[in-house]
Amino acid sequence: MKHKKTNPRRSENSASPQEVRLNKYIANSGVCSRREADKLIATGEIKVNKEVITEMGYKVKPTDKVYHKGQLLQSEKPVYVLLNKPKGFLTTTDDPQERRTVMELVKNACDERIYPVGRLDRATTGLLLFTNDGAVAEVLAHPSNNVKKIYRAEINKPITKEHFQQIVDGLELEDGPVKVDELAILDDRKALGMEIHLGKNRIVRRIFEHLGYEVIKLDRVVYAGLDKSNLPRGKWRHLSDKEINRLKSLKIKKKD
**Which residues are designated catalytic?**
121
- Integer CA distances (angstroms), 216 to 66, 97, 102, 147, 213, in order: 47, 25, 21, 25, 9
Whether residue 36 contacts residue 42, with contact meaning beta carbons closer than 8 Å, is answered with no
Q: Is 9 exposed, middle or buried (0-12, 13-18, 19+ CB in 10 A)?
A: exposed
Tell me, rounded to whole angstroms, the distance of Cα 48 from its chain centroid. 27
Whether residue 190 contacts residue 218, with contact meaning beta carbons closer than 8 Å, is answered with no
Nearest of 178, 154, 16 to residue 87 by alpha carbon: 154
